[in-house]
Amino acid sequence: MNSFFDFPLVYLPEIFFAIGIILLLVEIIFLGFSTFVLFFLGIGCVATSLLLFLGTIPLAVDKALLATSLISIGSAIVLWRFLKQLTSENNETQVDEGFVNHEFTLSETISRASPGSYRYSSVTWQVVPYRDVALEAGLKVEVVSVEVGRFFVQEKA
């Protein structure tokens, strides 16, 4: 190992480990698990680094690149469903705390086509009838469901 070109081979495990950690950090911190591509390549680089360090793979760039690609593809196949499920958005959550069953008097007539507004808890909420009926001004109503920025109300029984 007297040549300048042999120098990277001596530190090949460390180089692959550093590249893998950088790829993982970029994917997690900057991209927020949005693509997964860098995540799987990072896993492949770190695992290849470990295999190079243990001597399982010979210190050769072509063998290391082949191992990285195979490990990346394998980890993608194994982890894809789990990570996709982990990052999927669940919009089915309802905001019920503190708003449902709140009662107030309508200041204006509302319908699905022309919702009203109501100021509660320092926020101006859009007020929409829960069912497809018009509710007259001055009617006492209660909140039965909440979406972001919207109160769904019905006449207080």
CA distance 123 to 142: 17
Residue 2 scores a pLDDT above 60: no
Q: Which residue has the tokens 């896993």?
A: 43
Q: What is the pLDDT of residues 82-131, one digit of tens each?
A: 877 776 665 555 555 678 888 999 999 999 888 999 988 788 899 999 88
Cβ atoms of residues 154 and 136 within 8 Å: no
Helix axes 37-54, 12-25, angle to 10 degrees: 160
Question: Does the pTM of the predicted model rise above 0.85?
Answer: no
The b-or-e profile of 139-153 (16+ CB within 10 A means b, else e) is eebbbbbbeeeebbb
pLDDT at 70: 96
CATH topology assigned to domain 103-155: OB fold (Dihydrolipoamide Acetyltransferase, E2P) (2.40.50)
Convert the pLDDT of each residue in 6-51 to its tens digit.
667 788 999 999 999 999 999 988 888 777 889 999 999 999 999 9
- Show me where the domains of the chain are located: 4-87, 103-155
Q: What is the pLDDT of residues 129-155, one digit of tens each?
A: 988 888 988 899 999 988 888 999 998
